[in-house]
Every structure is written in structure tokens, then in C-alpha cells.
Amino acid sequence: MNTIYQNRTPDFKTVSSTVKALEQRYPFIKVESIGQSHLHRDIFSLTIGNQRAENAVLLAGGFHALEWITVMLLLRLCEDVCLSMESKKPLAGIDIAKGLSDKSVTFVPAVNPDGIELVLNGIDSAGLLYRKVAEIATNSLPGQGKNDELSVNFDFSPWQTRWQANANGVDINHNFDAGWNLLRKLEVSEGITSFAPRQFGGYAPESEPETKALCDLCRRVPFRHAMAFHSQGEEIYWHYGRHTPEKSRLMAQVLASSCGYTPSHPSGLASHGGFKDWFIEAFHRPSFTVEVGKGQNPLPIEDFLPIYTRIQEMMLLSIVI
């Protein structure tokens, strides 16, 4: 049974307290802050396993504000892995303690803590970026121009079901240096030319501290492959450009077959600039985007346990495969 993780929406307070509790309960976890967001919230990493072995895997989530359910999935998996390590009992039929004897797994559950906080707790969580967030939201409404008289009582609630970016109005998963110039042209063709609630990739790749923190982690740790969790669609994306390893297709098929998801390819504005794309381009190693669940973001919290139950084996296979 789970002793620490609670099925609560993952605002920053909840994520921070969960990470701290896991660190205190399981001394074999290595917890770090790999960087901070625009609003100085820590971006946590949790590493389990043989950290001396050059055989590491990365699982990251919470890139998009509305996709906070992915944070819950990774925190839950992290504790389940810890429980299995401690008890020496298999998890989903997999001997985790043996599997991590010569490798490690690093979880980065919430890459975009500011965006998630906006969606869950509203515009007051934007602090010093309150006015910028209000301006971005106002200017994104049809027929609205720049509003120089924004009220401190600005109604952000309609955007709590639309906002995907960080608190700076940059979509983190458009901000990685992989086909970024092509993506920028696509954004402009769609009328996305400046800071926006979604799909604006910034004015340069890695312009955002959240993006840079994850890239710097990957430059520092030679992950053999990386998993990026998003919602929704029940698909696994595995290919990007000519540097995609040959084994990536088979790995995607194995992962997909374990949970009934479909190996696929993104299209349109999702074709470039993502973390999976950058990882493949930068390191010529496998990387995957997993689109969990089906429905409209944000997926309801009631979907969490059914999604987790369905993809738990797939996530574990991604660690030991």
C-alpha cells in the first residue's frame, strides 16, 4: 500500500511535501533541485537505483500546465518503485530491486510548476508575473487588445481550462532546440507571434529556465533513453528526424503492447520543438512521448487510478527494458 503519496491535485505545495516525505522515508532516494522556474519554484528530480552505473533512464512529466495528471502518475510510480525496492517484492511481476541493481531511474515529475500552479490555484499564484499573465490572457481573447487598466481582480478562471504555458507565456514543449526555427514559422502562420497561453515556443530555444534545467540535467547525466509524459490520446511517439535510433520503433512497440496504446507520429505544431525531439537530436538515443488517457485536458482526477493501473507495467518496462 502507498504510505506517502496521496491522490491529490499536484500543486507546488503538494509536490514539495510529497518529495520531502519520500526523501525522509526512503534514504536510498537522491533528491535534487535541477533548477527553478520563473517564479523560483524548485524543479525536483528523484533518482533511485545504482547511481554509479552508467545506465540511467529519465521519466519526466508536467510539461504542460493542464496535463498535471502526469505529475501524479510519476509520483505514484516513484513511491511504488521505492516500496518494491524496500520490500524486495516484485511490482507488476517485475523484480525492481534486481532491475535497478545495475541501473538507475530519475523522475522529474513537474517540469512546469508555475503553469500547473496557475491552472490549479489561479492567477494569485503568479506573484510578480500577475500582470503579465493577465495581459497574456486578455490579449488572447478574440477582439481584445492590450489592456492598460487591468484590475487586480482580473478573472482568470476561464483560462484554468486553457493554459498550457509557463507563467511567462511560453510553451515549454515548444522551447527545445529541435526544428525550432521550423516550428516558429508554423506558429507565426497560425497567428501565434508572442507570449500566449499555449503553443508559443519563445523567441529562442531554451529561453526558459524550466527548459534549460531539463536540458542541463540530460547533458550532465548520460540517460540511455528518456520518457516524456503528456495527456491525452493513448499514443506513444518515438520518431524524430534522421538520428532516431533503429531500435526506437521496436521499443515503442513493446511499450505500447503492454498497455494497449498506439505507436504514432505527432503532426502540425506538435512536430518540432519538443523534449523528445531534442533528446533524439542531441544524443542520438531513444526518447518517447507518451500521451496518457483520453478526453479533454485537464483530464479529471477520477481518471488517475484507471490510467495508472493501465500504464504501470509500461512505465516499469521503460525503466528496465
Burial of 88 (0-12, 13-18, 19+ CB in 10 A): exposed
Note the pLDDT of residue 1. 53
What would the grid cell of residue 85 be? 525496492
How confident is the prediction for the chain on average, in pLDDT?
Answer: 93
Note the pLDDT of residue 2. 56
Q: Looking at per-residue confidence, does 117 or 154 come out higher?
A: 117
DSSP collapsed to 3 states, 78-109: HHHHHHHHHHCCCECCECHHHHCCCCEEEEEC
Taking 50 as the threshold, does the pLDDT of residue 237 lie above it? yes
Query: How many independent structural domains does the chain possess?
Result: 1
Note the pLDDT of residue 309. 97
Residue in 164, 133, 312 with CA at minimum distance from that of residue 231: 164
Note the pLDDT of residue 151. 55
CA–CA gap between residue 187 and residue 193 (Å, rounded): 7
Q: Could you read off the pLDDT of 217-226 as tens digits, one per residue?
A: 999 999 999 9
Note the pLDDT of residue 212. 98
What percentage of the chain exceeds 70 in pLDDT?
Answer: 95
Note the pLDDT of residue 140. 77
Structure confidence at residue 143 as a pLDDT band (50, 70, 90): very low
Residues 6+ apart with CB under 8 A from 93: 313
**Structural domain range at position 71:** 1-321
**Strands 42-49 vs 56-60: parallel, antiparallel or unpaired:** unpaired
User: What pTM was estimated for this model as a whole?
Assistant: 0.95
CA–CA gap between residue 161 and residue 174 (Å, rounded): 19
Note the pLDDT of residue 144. 47
Note the pLDDT of residue 142. 53
CA–CA gap between residue 271 and residue 62 (Å, rounded): 19
What is each CA distance from 142 to 107, 146, 312, in whole angstroms?
Answer: 39, 12, 41
Note the pLDDT of residue 302. 96
Q: Could you read off the pLDDT of 257-303 as tens digits, one per residue?
A: 999 999 998 877 667 899 999 999 999 999 999 999 999 999 999 99
CA–CA gap between residue 278 and residue 262 (Å, rounded): 22
Q: Could you read off the pLDDT of 71-129 as tens digits, one per residue?
A: 999 999 999 999 999 999 999 999 999 999 999 999 999 999 999 999 999 999 999 99
Mean pLDDT across 182-191: 94
What is each CA distance from 283 to 55, 60, 154, 270, in whole angstroms?
Answer: 14, 17, 44, 20
Mean pLDDT across 4-16: 93
Structure confidence at residue 147 as a pLDDT band (50, 70, 90): low
Taking 90 as the threshold, does the pLDDT of residue 53 lie above it? no
Mean pLDDT across 151-158: 79
Output the domain CATH number for residue 278.
3.40.630.10
Residues of the chain by 3-state class (helix, strand, coil), percent to 5: 45, 15, 40
Note the pLDDT of residue 265. 83
